[in-house]
Amino acid sequence: MTDPEILRYTQETGDFSRMLESIPYATWIGLQCERFGDDLIFRLPKKESNLGNPILPAIHGGVIGGFMEMSANIYLIMSRESLRMPRIVDFSLDYLRAGLNRETYAECRLTRQGNRVANVMVTAWQKSRSQPIATARAHFLLED
């Protein structure tokens, strides 16, 4: 993911396949990303191995967290000119509804970017964007 060549390719083309293939964790949970104009929508397809609670069944809360965390990370890389990798400092997650065994989406918003720290908000939903299953807030350190 730190490979500047892949980052540049992704920033220029909006094709996320090479970047995502280079990150084993993204491939493993099945994360996908598409660009619509300037907007990025992240997608987590339905996947049996991502489930936690077998009764509902529901996606494991940790996977929802990992999906949102990685979405925030990629979003931040794409919204900056720099090819440096931001480092996560903290991650705060509110679960609003059970994430059922179906496709999940996420979008991010850069709340504030300073010289050294960025604050990113993430919202995840399934059937309707107006009924989010989780919201999260993350801080990233931008310098090395």
Partner 1 sequence: MDNQTRIDRVTRFIETLNQARELGLSVTDAGDGTLTLCLPYSDRIIGNPDTGVIHGGAITTLMDTTSGCVILCALEDFELCPTLDLRVDYMRPAHPHKPVYARAETYRITRNIIFTRCEAYQEGGETIANCVATFMRIGKEASPKHYRDLIAGDVK
Residues that bind partner 1 (CB under 8 A): 1-3, 22-26, 28-29, 48-55, 60-63, 65-67, 69-70, 85, 88-95, 98
Decide whether 3 or 34 has the Cβ nearer to partner 1: 3
Residue 78 Cβ, how far from partner 1 at the closest point, in Å?
17
One-letter identity of residue 137: R
| Min CB(39)–partner 1 separation in Å | 23
Burial zone of 138 (CB within 10 Å; 0-12 exposed, 13-18 middle, 19+ buried):
buried
**Closer CB to partner 1, 40 or 139, in the complex:** 139
Closest among 94, 88, 95, 50 to 69, alpha carbons compared:
88
| CA-closest candidate to residue 124, choices 54, 51, 66, 85 | 66
- Which one, 2 or 37, has the nearer CB to partner 1? 2
Task: Between 40 and 70, name the residue whose CB sits nearer to partner 1.
Answer: 70
Closer CB to partner 1, 95 or 107, in the complex: 95
How far apart are the C-alpha atoms of 8 and 125, rounded to whole Å?
29
Q: Do the Cβ atoms of 19 and 27 come closer than 8 Å?
A: no
Q: Shortest distance, CB of residue 69 to partner 1, whole angstroms?
A: 5
CB of 19 to partner 1, least distance (A): 11
Minimum gap (Å) between residue 26 Cβ and partner 1 = 8
In this structure, what DSSP letter does residue 86 have? P
How far does CA 14 lie from the centroid of its chain? 15
